[in-house]
Structure 1
Amino acid sequence: MSLDLLTYLFIGGSFVLYIAIAIWARAGSTKEFYVAGGGVPPIANGMATAADWMSAASFISLAGLISFIGRDGSAYLMGWTGGYVLLALLLAPYLRKFGKFTVPDFVGDRYYSSTARTIAVVCTIVISFTYVAGQMRGVGIVFSRYLHVDINTGVILGMAIVFFYAVLGGMKGITYTQVAQYCVLILAFTVPAFFLSAQITGHILPQTGLGATLESGQSVLATLDQLSMDLGFAQYTEGKKSTIDMFFLTVALMCGTAGLPHVIVRFFTVPRVKDARTSAGYALIFIALLYTAVPGVAGFGRVNLIQTINGPDNAGTEYAEMPQWFKNWENAGLLGWNDRNGDGKVQYAAGKAFEGKGKPAYEGENRGEHGERLASNAVSGAEFDASKQPFANEVYVDRDIMVLANPEIAQLPNWVIALVAAGAVAAALSTAAGLLLVISTAISHDLMKKTINPNITDKQELMYARLAAIVAICIAGYFGINPPGFVAQVVALAFGLACASVFPAIVMGIFSKRMNTQGAISGMLVGLISTMAYMYYFAFAGGTPDQYFMGISPGGFGTVGMILHFIVAYAVSSMTPEPPQEIQDIVEDLRIPRGAGAAHAH
């Protein structure tokens, strides 16, 4: 069966399944729309949490990121996995016991302030829109390659699917859809990982792949180091980031994870506090299945890519002899070749082949002498001097294609390639749906119901939630079509914002009886504004790395924002009145397990 037909069957079949679940589990009340009625079994919630958490960044972009930047990519692995442990142990049970199912709801009630609630709403919306942009971009990438449409059309198709089951089903529909999506995405990631590991190393487990010995007698890591140096790159095991930048980025990703609104709300869909802990344990196991395989998949993909493009002797491969996968991704606009030295060979090395990105091209359009697809602003062959630069980079590779292209590069069966496509869509759509629900809940429940008009009925609140979800989907689609960077980069910014704004407010709300309204408001404002300003300047306004504060990149500045948040919040709270006694009693009770008082009495 052809790849196209298998892809249509796998992706189309998964869509039918998701939509059928949404219809079966459609929400009939605000409680079902917001928290699935609070009756989801822990193991199902663990799967849904894992799917919600493992976004397009985890499935599509993380392995690609590590493939290209090597050691520096470990910050994402450590930050994202460590952050989930932090969330499960430090925050989730206490938030579940507090009983408020959104971050703004917790902030508003704990800090007894509608202003604090409104600021938390703003933080939630900014974080969620930044995050969802990466998901919609991921959907567009998958559809552009496998459904043979441009990325913009792919984003619009993704918007339509998310609209259907998120707006109709709410959290109830999303939860059970995410259970199905987890099953799809974990199979889609691990099955090709097993194939690749067995093919390259002879060992089936990708978790041990990087240390496995190849036919050359070297390990995968040693081979990557050698290949990287031969082609002018830095050693794979030696990163470019400074130690302080790595540390701050890891902390930002970790604390940002623990402050993500769409993951926190998942712990309110189970019946009891005990179930929140149990579902967190299940989710950690389900997440580990994918994350422990990521480094191996990244390494295998990098070796395959270099050896396929450059050939066994690193002399390059004739363009006419390039395998079909290379042409497929060229046509999708996510890979490009510019024959800079005019020898007709495709050569991949350090340096830029393009100032911009590749561009989809068709017969007779924008092609070079040997038929390559040229970017509109490709570096011209005239600028190449063979005497000074005997081996120049001629290939643009979008980092986000590595996981998707891996099975094709390794010539795995068509059904495996189609499965990966379905898994990538599942990963992106599951997180996009969770984020869109968080946005709609923040607007309808926390802004409309709790702040602007407390007298609206349950039916009106549900209507506002669905309208907000529709608007949010449209905005998310815009950011998917006009993304500020590749998927993992965009998502990292969202984690930095969560780290600086939401996480400290939640931690201090749980563990500090002294933290009051004034401290919380000033801390959130300082954390959010300072981090947004830094990110905007360096990511969008032309700031250069040599201007970084202490060498800290935009993704890692969330840690600085978090430190400023804690300092300002404690300073302001110490100079202003204590919280009311009833609030202090709530905080005191929050950290005592149920039944502990009775046991102590005996």
Structure 2
Amino acid sequence: MLSSLTRLQRYYLYYTGVFALFVLLLALLERNGMPPRWVGYAFLVFTVTMYATIGVFSRTTDVSEYYVAGRRIPAFFNGMATGADWMSAASFMGLAGTLYLQGFQGLAYVIGWTGGFVLVALLLAPYLRRFGQYTIPDFLCARYGGNTIRLIAVFAAILASFVYVVAQIYGVGVITSRFVSLQFEVGVFVGLAGILVCSFLGGMRAVTWTQVAQYLILIVAYITPVAILSYNVTGVPVPQMVYGQVLEQVTKLEHQLFDAPSELEVRELYRERADLYAQKIMQLPHSLTQERERLSIQINELKSSDVQMREIVALERQRRELPQDPEQARERWEKEMFLAVDRSKPPIHHAEPFPGSSVEERDAQRINFLALIFCLTIGTAALPHVLMRYYTTPTVAQARQSVFWSLLFITILYVTAPAYAVFAKFEVLSNLAGIPIAKLPGWVAAWTKVGLVSIEDINGDGILQFAELALNPDVIVLATPEIAGMPYVVSGLVAAGALAAALSTADGLLLTITSALSHDVYYRVFRPQSSTQFRLVIAKSLLLVVAVFAATVAAQKPGTILSMVAWAFSIAGSAFFPALVLGIFWVRATRAGAIAGMLVGLLLTLYYILRLEFGGYSWLGFDGGRLDPWFHLQSTSAGVFGIAAGFATNIAVSLLTRPSPQAAAFLERIRRPGNQVEGP
């Protein structure tokens, strides 16, 4: 049987076997007393060492190998590498968590992401491969002409990729801080080292073969715990087939639990807290002074009484942590008020499509659901780091085939994510809600230290109500083995898979950013006469700089993984999709139209995200307060406005300007079957 496999297939089969033996060895060592922390270290060191070894053996000084892997990647392996490149920390960690929290509405991510690959196969991949070259800005420059559009495309590619890569490095920090007990900020830079060893020496060639290895680990790690959980709950180790039965049990538990008197009491207390914060905000600055005086009086009373010192220390810490001025108080108390409002709302029933207390609220959820699908579908078809993968196949036919393989490998994870969410919620509702807080399992305290789990006994009864438990969506997949009481080696395996997902995507994104800077800006615009060796030196130097900067931003915890990724999709879709699609299928599309469409779409999307999420542009001296959502759309769907505006502007300006005489000849070349234009 082995003799019928290709050399590459045999290598990766041996690699998978070695990894399986390593996991079994760790399981035996854990059973014989190996501490959990050492299990985490073993997974981290072993997997990163394997990736580094592949990266070292794939080192190259050839420009074509560095940027497009020599255009020699077979469709099957390119599909697997694309799957790893695509299945980022957002897919691995955030998708199941979002489905856990949002239920039906979280399916927008599954539908949008998979649908995008259909657009890639039909509209973009074959034409990009016939074109050849190295980057998306290369294509836009060749189609429309001039360096202006190249520079705009470079800016958009860097911005979308940077937001995306920050989310991946943030995910690495979460993983390392929990499973190897590193401080979050330290874990971010440890993960950064793992990213660089995969991509620094060999560029796209090293990244591709490393991503194939990472896909094998991440898919095994993703499926294993939910398969074990499925077997324990239903007796069938195929969760994709039986999670519907468990969903029925989850629905029954939700109806029993969510309307219980204790749950209603807790939600009412959170509503009262929200009202209290609202009053404080309305009475600023007087309320801030009152709060400081109240704490001072309490501290003085306690000091004169016979109480334990820790109570006095706790109140003194509260007084020290009070906002320094009314503006800071408003910002902090608004955040606390919104959190209390969210926790006062009735929980979402997992199987209910668009829950809400009014028709307007349900309509808003429906609009957001459809808008998010639209943005993710278009964004998938416009992400530069995904589109670059179709430059690496030997032929146009294999570019099409690799899209099929990509979708197949990605679907394996996406049909498992809904099952993950259902089984995780079943475990939480069955075994966590309603138990004494003093008897909570150890994983709750461990994840609380990381900051992704929050427990608050707001009604003081010593029992954990469901509304008193706050789980960050990024924790669901990583914590599921611990929630279900599995051996810690399974948790380590999941962490290794999540790390592989984050590293694989981060590698591709960093390579996209550095390729845009070194190839499209330095070589194409400023130094066309530079040698190939010096171009690679520039690319590798920029890789280090961008990676360190991205890790620094990620260490600030700017948002949840899935929200940052959704912003990146909106940015990419609004900047690239109209220019690419019209450039391929409409000969009348002009350079002026493409430039105007890209700028309008990109700037409108950025305006909406910044105003809605961050309230303004204080760094530019302008702060107009938070924007009221347009048509009730959240910032994750900002691309709806940018994509529509980009198409409309591109078409309108193109009709008013003269098309390039070279456009028809260019389109004839990339549309002609069997024709392909190789890069330099």
Using structure 2 for the length normalisation, give the TM-score.
Answer: 0.77
- 1:258 counterpart = 2:381: yes
Structure 2 SS opposite 1:107:
helix
2:241 aligned with 1:126, yes or no? no
Q: Mark the CA change 1:344 to 1:164 in structure 2 (over 3 Å): closer, same or farther.
A: same
> 1:401 deviation in Å?
0.5
Alignment check: 8 A CA contact 2:615 2:627 kept: no
Residues 71-220 of structure 1 aligned to structure 2 (within 5 Å): 71-213=104-246, 218-220=248-250
Aligned to 1:357: none
Q: Aligned with 1:345: secondary structure?
A: coil
Partner of 2:316: none
Contact 2:61/2:533, CA 8 A, preserved across alignment: no
8 Å CA contact retained: 2:85, 2:211: yes
Q: State the SS of the aligned residue for 2:492.
A: helix
What is the SS of the residue equivalent to 2:201? helix
CA distance in 1, matches of 2:431, 2:79: 39
Q: Who is 2:430 aligned against? A: 307
**Aligned residue type for 1:592:** R
Query: Which residue of structure 1 lines up, in the alignment, with residue 491 of structure 2?
Result: 417
Which residue identity does 2:486 align to in structure 1? Answer: L
Asked if structure 2 preserves the Cα contact closer than 8 Å seen for 1:166 and 1:437, the reply is yes
Quote the offset at 1:224 in angstroms. 4.8
Is the contact between residue 222 and residue 497 of structure 2 (CA under 8 Å) also seen in structure 1? Answer: yes
Q: CA deviation at 1:545?
A: 8.9
Instruction: Give the CA deviation at 1:82.
Output: 0.8
Whether the aligned pair in 2 keeps the contact of 1:133 and 1:483 (CA below 8 Å) is no
TM-aligned CA deviation for residue 452 of structure 1: 1.7
* 1:443-485 Cα deviation digits (max 9, x unpaired): 0000111112211111111111111111110121022112321
Q: 1:550 aligns with which of 606, 631, 634?
A: 631
Instruction: Give the SS at the match of 1:235.
Output: coil
Matched, 1:466 2:540: yes
AA matched with 1:328: A
Question: Residue in 1 aligned with 2:550?
Answer: 476
DSSP-derived class of the 1:317 partner: coil
- Say which is worse superposed, 111-120 or 300-309, in terms of deviation: 300-309
The 3-state SS of whatever aligns with 2:642 is: helix
Match of 1:321 in 2: 439
Asked if the contact 1:88/1:280 (under 8 Å) is kept, the reply is yes
Measured in 2, the distance between the counterparts of 1:50 and 1:342 equals 48
Structure 1 residue 553, shift from structure 2 partner = 1.4
* Corresponding residue for residue 273 of structure 1: 396
Cα displacement string for residues 132-174 of structure 1 (whole angstroms, at most 9, x for unaligned residues): 1110111011001101112111111011111222112211111
Q: 1:229 to 1:545 in 2, by over 3 A?
A: farther
Deviates more, 1:538-547 or 1:481-490: 538-547
Superposed, which structure 2 residues align to 1:380-399 within 5 Å? Answer: 393=468, 395-399=469-473
Cα deviation digits, residues 493-515 of structure 1 (max 9, x gap): 00011111111111111111111
CA distance in 2, matches of 1:189, 1:38: 30
Aligned equivalent of 2:53 = 20
Q: Distance in 2 between matches of 1:263 and 1:14?
A: 24
Matched, 1:60 2:60: no
Residue 437 of structure 1 corresponds to: 511
Letter in 1 for 2:347: F
Pair 443,14 (structure 1): closer, same or farther in 2 beyond 3 Å: same
Contact 1:159 1:473 (8 Å CA) reproduced:
yes
Indicate yes or no: 2:312 matched with 1:238. no
Does the residue aligned with 2:466 lie in a helix, a strand or coil?
coil
Per-residue deviation, 1:221: 4.9
2:452 aligned partner: 334
Structure 2 residue 607 is the aligned partner of structure 1 residue 533 = yes
Q: Deviations over 1:336-373 (max 9, x none)?
A: 32332333333321xxxxxxxxxxxxxxxxxxxxxxxx
Letter in 1 for 2:507: A
SS at match of 1:396: strand
CA deviation after TM superposition for structure 1 residue 517, in Å: 0.5
Where 1:212 maps in the other structure, the secondary structure is: helix
Which of 47-56 and 395-404 deviates more? 395-404
The residue that corresponds to 1:283 in the other structure is 406
Q: Deviations over 1:213-269 (max 9, x none)?
A: 58xxx4445545665565531322233553222211110011001101111111111
Greater Cα shift, 331-340 or 60-69: 331-340
CA separation of 1:219 and 1:544: change in aligned 2, threshold 3 A: farther
Closer/same/farther in 2, CA of residues 227 and 96 from structure 1, 3 Å limit: farther
Look up the match of 1:374.
none
How far did 1:595 drift? 7.9
Aligned residue type for 2:666: I
**AA matched with 1:300:** F
Contact 1:142 1:425 in 2 (8 A): yes
SS at match of 1:4: helix
Q: Give the aligned residue type for 2:441.
A: P
Write the letter of the residue equivalent to 2:243.
L
Between the aligned partners of 1:227 and 1:238, the Cα distance in structure 2 is 19
Counterpart-to-counterpart distance in 2, 1:133 and 1:123: 15
Over residues 11-30 of structure 1, what are the superposed CA-to-partner deviations in whole Å (9 max), with x where a residue is unaligned?
21111100000000012122
1:528 Cα shift? 0.3
Contact 2:246 2:423 (C-alpha < 8 Å) held by counterparts = no
The answer to whether the 8 A contact 2:150-2:520 is kept is: yes
Quickly say closer, same or farther: Cα 1:205–1:545, change in 2 above 3 A. Answer: farther
Change (3 A) 1:531 1:296: same
- In 2, distance between residues paired with 1:224 and 1:265? 45
Match of 1:37 in 2: 70
Q: Does 1:512 align with 2:586?
A: yes
Greater C-alpha Rg: 2
The answer on whether the counterparts of 1:221 and 1:299 sit within 8 Å (CA) in structure 2 is: no
Partner deviation per Cα, 1:422-456 (whole Å, 9 max, x = no partner): 00000000000100000000000001111122111
Task: Give the partner amino acid of 2:664.
Answer: Q
Runs of at least 4 residues off by over 6 Å: 542-546
Q: Could you tell me which residue of structure 2 aligns to residue 560 of structure 1? A: 641
Count of equivalent residues: 543
- Aligned pairs for 1:326-365 (under 5 A) are 326-349=444-467
Measure, in 2, the Cα distance between the counterparts of 1:225 and 1:126: 45
Q: Distance in 1 between matches of 2:502 and 2:106?
A: 20
The unaligned stretches of length 5 or more in structure 2 are: 1-29, 264-345, 356-363, 617-623
Q: Show the counterpart of 2:359.
A: none
TM-score where L is the length of structure 1? 0.87
| Cα 1:196–1:29 shift into 2, 3 Å | same
3-state SS in 1 of match to 2:481? helix
- Secondary structure of 1:346 counterpart: coil
Instruction: Give the aligned partner of residue 672 of structure 2.
Output: 592
Distance 2:259 2:88 in 1: 32
Deviation track 1:21-55 (CA, whole Å, cap 9, x = no partner) reads: 00000121221111111111221111110000000
Unmatched segments (≥5 aa) in structure 1: 311-315, 350-392, 597-602
Could you tell me whether the CA contact under 8 Å between 1:545 and 1:551 is conserved in 2? no
d(CA) in 1 for partners of 2:561, 2:675? 46
Q: Deviations over 1:170-212 (max 9, x none)?
A: 1111110001000000000011121122222333222234311
Conservation of the 8 A alpha-carbon contact between 1:519 and 1:568: yes
1:43–1:279 contact (8 Å) kept in structure 2: yes
State the distance in 2 between where 1:439 and 1:595 align. 29
